[in-house]
Each structure stands twice: as C-alpha cells, then as structure tokens.
Amino acid sequence: MNDKLGTLKYLNLSSVWPHEERDFTPWLAQEENLSALAKVLGLELQLEQVEVRVGLYSADILAKDGNDRYVVIENQFSRTNHDHLGKLITYGATLGASIIIWIAEQFTEEHQKAIEWLNERTTDDLLIYAVRPKVIQIDNSNPAVEFEVIERPNELVRTTSIERAAREASDSQKLQLEFWTMFKKRLLEQKVIMSAETPAPKYWFNVPLGRSHIHLSNILNTDAGKVGLRVYLHNKVADAALEELATEKAEIEREIGASLQWNPNPDNRDKIISLVRDIDLEDRSDWSNKINWLVDMNAKFRLAFMPRVRKLKLIPASNVVV
C-alpha cells in the first residue's frame, strides 16, 4: 500500500475563473458543464442564451429543461446577498421561468431560509434551487468542480398540494392521479430517469428528451380507454424535426420494436410520433401490466430518440428580448 497520499484543498472560484461574468458564466454555459449541473439537480438542461437583457440588468444564463420550461441561472462569487436574491426573482418573473437556480460560493443562513420558505409556498409552477460549486484540488493537480445542492424544491409540499387539488377533481382525474403516481414510482425504480415531475390529476405525464421544444408525453385517456406515449414536437421546431426524424423511421421502429404513428393529426401545428394501446381502467388487476409496458416503452423511446433529437439541425428558437 502506498502511504503517500495527496493533500486535498478547496479553491476560491476566482482563483480558477478571474471574473464571474466573463469567465465563469461562459464556462458553465458549455454543454458538458451545464449537463453536470443538471445531473445533480435531476434535470435536463439545454442552453438558450447567455447574459439575457432584463431591463437595466442581465440574467446570467437562460436555459430550458426537458419539459420545455424556462430556467434562469444566476451566478455569484463569494457570499450571497439581497441584491442577487432580488435579481433572481425579477429575472424569473420577467422571463416567465418555472425553474430558478442560484449558484453561489457561500449561502448565508438567511438566504438558505428564504429559498426554503419560497419552496414551501410554491407548486410545480416554480422550482427553486440553491447550489454551491466547490473547486477541489489534490496537491498540484488540475482543479475539479463538484456541485453541492444546498436547497431544492420540497417534494412533500408539492405532493400535498396535488392531493388537495385531487379532492376537487373529477372521478376520471382521480384515476389519472392514481395511475401516474404508480407510473412515476415504477419509472424511478427502473432508473429510466433519475427524477420525474410530481404526478397530477391530468391527461399527461411528461418525460424529458434532452432538448428544448421536444419531450415525451405519456397519456392516459380515460374517455377513450387509451394509454400510450408520444414524442411531442412543439410547433416552433415541429415541421423540421419531424421531417428529419422521419428519414430514420425504419431504424427507429426497429429499435423500439413497434410500428409508430407518425403525425396522425397533420393539421395540428404541434406534431407527434405516438404509440397507443387500449386500457380498461376498471380492471385494476391489469394496471401493473400496462404500467410495466409504458415504463419499458419510455426506456426504448429515450434510447432511440434522444441521440437523434440532440443531433437535429434545427433553426434556434427566437431570442428572448426584454
């Protein structure tokens, strides 16, 4: 055994990136670094813009998650302050963000409490994260960065909020909530994705595909007795994405092991690629089989579509100007 061990030390961010705006923010905006941050948060993030103008100020990073929601990221060297907290709220409100990520070297107890307090009083419409980047070096090695999540959305609060809404839901919506709750549990158990949205009494349950304007939308149609999933292409990219993906239709269907419906509603501006099966929701003994099938299809769809979706040569969405 080698008794000579290296000495671990933590560096200030400014010793690696001299300037937050000119150095750290562009570094974080790179795909591999944004993906590393997303992984610890259980999200999928894709860059939209850097230094987005919001009145007299600029939001450091604007991204989108796998469910096509806007994400504002604000970076701060040293200790958190009220100025940055106020900017975060302003940027989030002005840019219509559903997710806010505050990155700082040191969070004061008061600001940690503020984030916790906000998360306890919001629903899935607003998710707030506090993240501390730690720069690590062993002896004279190249420095490495790890992201430590200080505060994250309160899952219990969100579940309670959904349950409260479910008490006022229709019988069909209550069935959907029960089904999606079972589905999410199985989806995470099978490690198809690392985290998932909170189930709600609604028709759909979304799963990210790693790119803005495109996601998996699982559906449960209680009126028609249908369950399935679809690659959902938002109208901003729908035509170009569908055309490019269709060139690999045979390979995609072979990988998934099923024939898919390609654009079954051609008059719609949003486009879908879907796979649907019948379900008898009254027969609860068959729910487990249908959920297993749906989880398996989510895994196969992600394996088949994610690499192709990420390579799509799409015209970027219009820049956000405020």
Q: What is the pLDDT of residues 66-81, one digit of tens each?
A: 777 889 999 999 899 9
Q: What is the mean pLDDT of the chain?
A: 88
Q: Give the model's confidence band at 303: pLDDT under 50 very low, under 70 low, under 90 confident, else very high.
A: very high
Shared domain for 260 and 289, answered yes or no, is: yes
User: Is position 245 within any domain?
Assistant: yes
Quick: pLDDT tens for 203-260: 899 998 878 788 899 999 998 999 999 999 988 889 999 999 999 999 999 999 999 9
- Given 153, 185, 206, the domain boundary residue is 153
Backbone angles phi, psi at 281, to 5 degrees: -70, -15
CATH number at residue 287: 3.30.1460
Shared domain for 95 and 230, answered yes or no, is: no
Quick: pLDDT tens for 135-146: 998 988 898 999
How far is 45 from 42, CA to CA, in rounded Å? Answer: 10
pLDDT at 65 over 50: yes
Backbone angles phi, psi at 181, to 5 degrees: -65, -45
pTM greater than 0.85 (yes/no): no
pLDDT at 318 over 50: no
Residue 27 CB partners (closer than 8 Å, separation 6+): 17, 33
Shared domain for 178 and 277, answered yes or no, is: yes
User: Is position 263 within any domain?
Assistant: yes
The domain tally of the chain equals 2
Shared domain for 218 and 178, answered yes or no, is: yes
Strand arrangement of the beta sheet that strand 214-221 belongs to: 204-211, 214-221, 226-233, 271-278, 261-262
Handedness of CA 237, 240, 244, 245 (dihedral sign): positive
Q: How many residues does this entry show for the chain?
A: 322
pLDDT for position 174 = 86
Shared domain for 181 and 247, answered yes or no, is: yes
The tokens for 223 are: 């009126």
Name which of 24-28, 44-48, 215-219 the model is least confident about: 44-48
User: Is position 1 within any domain?
Assistant: no
Domain of residue 202 covers 157-310
Residue of 53, 131, 63 whose CA lies nearest to 97: 63
Shared domain for 102 and 167, answered yes or no, is: no
Instruction: Render the burial of 280-310: b for 16+ CB within 10 Å, e for the rest.
Output: ebeeeeebeebbeebbebbbbbbebbbebbe
Report the 3 state secondary structure along the chain. CCCCCCCEEEECHHHHCCCHHHHHHHHHHCHHHHHHHHHHHCCCEEEEEEEEEECCEEEEEEEEECCCCEEEEEEEEEECCHHHHHHHHHHHHHHCCCEEEEEEEECCHHHHHHHHHHHHCCCCCCEEEEEEEEEEEECCCCCEEEEEEEECCCHHHHHHHHHHHHCCCCHHHHHHHHHHHHHHHHHHHCCCCCCCCCCCCCCEEEEEEEECCEEEEEEEECCCCEEEEEEEECCCCHHHHHHHHHCCHHHHHHHHCCCCEECCCCCCCCEEEEEEEECCCCCHHHHHHHHHHHHHHHHHHHHHHHHHHHCCCCCCCCCCCC
- Given 153, 171, 191, the domain boundary residue is 153
User: Is position 37 within any domain?
Assistant: yes
Inter-residue contact 209 to 66 (CB < 8 Å) = yes
Q: Give the model's confidence band at 120: pLDDT under 50 very low, under 70 low, under 90 confident, else very high.
A: confident
CATH number at residue 65: 3.40.1350.10
pLDDT for position 158 = 58
pLDDT for position 123 = 64
pLDDT at 20 over 70: yes
Handedness of CA 198, 199, 204, 208 (dihedral sign): positive
Shared domain for 165 and 195, answered yes or no, is: yes
